[in-house]
Amino acid sequence: HLKRMRRLYARRQASFVKLCEAHLGDWISIGENDSGMQLLARFKKPMRDGDVVAAAMKEGLDIQGISINYHSTPPEHGLLLGYAALDERQVLRAILALRAAFQRLDHDHFRSN
């Protein structure tokens, strides 16, 4: 069972990373890792993860910023993105929703400048 699940999660992770690169590459960089069911997404330009989390919530997504985990040093901003519990259709839907959130943030930033 464990071998089968590891293979399944490895395939899901590889697919998730490819889709993120294709649809979210303007905003984040993300890479595969050997463990866990979440991946760290780092912003390619200065952004506050709280703003991204709030915009994602408006798109129906529940994602986690990493800055909340910093207590004594200046926080890094980024996202923890889960992929393991979703099938391919759900992953694509979530990635496109996150893309819409990033696009809205870009639009709002452009309008305010």
Residue 59 DSSP SS3: coil
Confidence at 84, pLDDT banded by 50, 70, 90: confident
CA distance 97 to 7: 27
DSSP code of residue 75: P
State the pLDDT at residue 86: 87
Question: Mean pLDDT throughout 48-62?
Answer: 96
pLDDT tens for 7-38 read 888 888 999 999 999 999 999 999 888 877 89
State the pLDDT at residue 14: 92
Inform me whether the pLDDT recorded for 64 exceeds 90.
yes
Tokens of 49: 């993860």
Q: What is the CA radius of gyration of the chain?
A: 15
